Structure 1
């Protein structure tokens, strides 16, 4: 069926213009540059870091939460890491805003798959800093240090029963950050390892000048008997009496 002349004329003259205007507006909206901040620092040997940035929709459009991950690999020597993390970006018609950054600090203490573990940290995005929280310096950098301690224990897994396994505990691995202050700033989070390892549970090992000795528990309790009765443990397939040197 033929369209009326006025209708055909309107479509011929105006539709390309409207379509071009629509595409131009969409293109300029989606190509708006996002804001970023830098997360950087140093990792000890045999450590890696994963930062997982979580985003929420900020402009009321019909979108859903998203996440972006940034990760360094393991290295046998200390390494520098540097992640450029968006504070905001466009996803179609939606404006995505940073809500928090989860940190996963991985450490390995041997070559076997089970000889690695991790602890968590977090960059918390707030409107106002808690009292006493560190602030950005005039240079635009906020510097913090996290201290990681290895907690040793005897494994209860059947495949490595009695073998030394470790947990990782990292204190200070995070910061509170004001969201509207973040663009173009640098958060420098350094990690160091405490040279003194600790038992994963109190009163399960006894410390001597030559090292730690594990003791038999009280019946029905994990704590050492009094006086302590010592036992052996396994480390890399060896029968040992004192940690970390194995033998006295």
Structure 2
């Protein structure tokens, strides 16, 4: 508890000091403790995760919304991540309450800077769960599985035109959480890498027994024509006809 602050006031008519006490409220200045939850899970090799927690002012304090970041970097082998995220905390006289957690799922498929990409997910705090949304188990855990799929395409960037580039699409990378139930709980969000890659656009590639073949487009469209005509592409310094095997 903060010590009382003693103010000395002068009464000009009497020329005497008047002592007054200004007691600060202990409950309004005391830091909140123990209000955290754990976000943990598994990441595939060459994946990284950033969780960005967004906080809003919960009292009449003249403060601003804030954000705190929690990160797990790339590793060449599968890894476990674990973030202890505050549900609330004090910033001076302001009581900050968690509003949502944004997730940035990063993946890399090569050693060059442009061979990295990401997809988004998130934890949404609500007063009541939407119909069908899972709730915490009796042991205080909520477990979900997210699946990330690589979407391949032919790059149109001038410096690497005709080479394979990829996007990342992660399904199930999030959850609804009841805000009042969150302190002390554990959200276990595991990420799985889909072994089957897919084209980033429909009707740009045709799947054969040997692999995916890119279509030769026309002046007005990049889509496969009927009958299709195929083209070659560059991958790892080689000229290829099918993906991912390169040659038939």
> Same-fold call, TM > 0.5?
yes
Q: Partner residue of 1:209? A: 209
Residue 222 of structure 1: how far off its partner (Å): 2.2
Q: Is the 8 A contact 2:89 2:97 kept in 1?
A: yes
Q: Is the 8 A contact 2:213 2:230 kept in 1?
A: yes
Q: TM-score, normalised by structure 1?
A: 0.91
Residues paired across the two proteins, number: 239
Q: Partner residue of 1:130? A: 130
**Paired residues for 1:227-238 under 5 Å:** 227-238=227-238
Q: Deviations over 1:128-183 (max 9, x none)?
A: 10000011000000000000000000000001000100000000000000100100
Q: Is the 8 A contact 2:32 2:88 kept in 1?
A: no
Q: Partner residue of 1:144? A: 144
Q: Deviations over 1:207-239 (max 9, x none)?
A: 111111101124412210111111000112211
Richer in strand (by share): 2
Q: TM-score, normalised by structure 2?
A: 0.91
Are 2:160 and 1:160 aligned? Answer: yes
Q: Structure 1 CA distance, aligned partners of 2:221 and 2:73?
A: 40
Q: Is the 8 A contact 1:50 1:70 kept in 2?
A: yes
Gaps of 5+ in 1: none
Gaps of 5+ in 2: 1-9
Secondary structure (helix, strand or coil) at the match of 2:124 reads strand
Q: Structure 1 CA distance, aligned partners of 2:34 and 2:64?
A: 18
Secondary structure (helix, strand or coil) at the match of 1:114 reads helix
Larger deviation: 202-211 or 100-109? Answer: 202-211
Change (3 A) 1:9 1:174: same
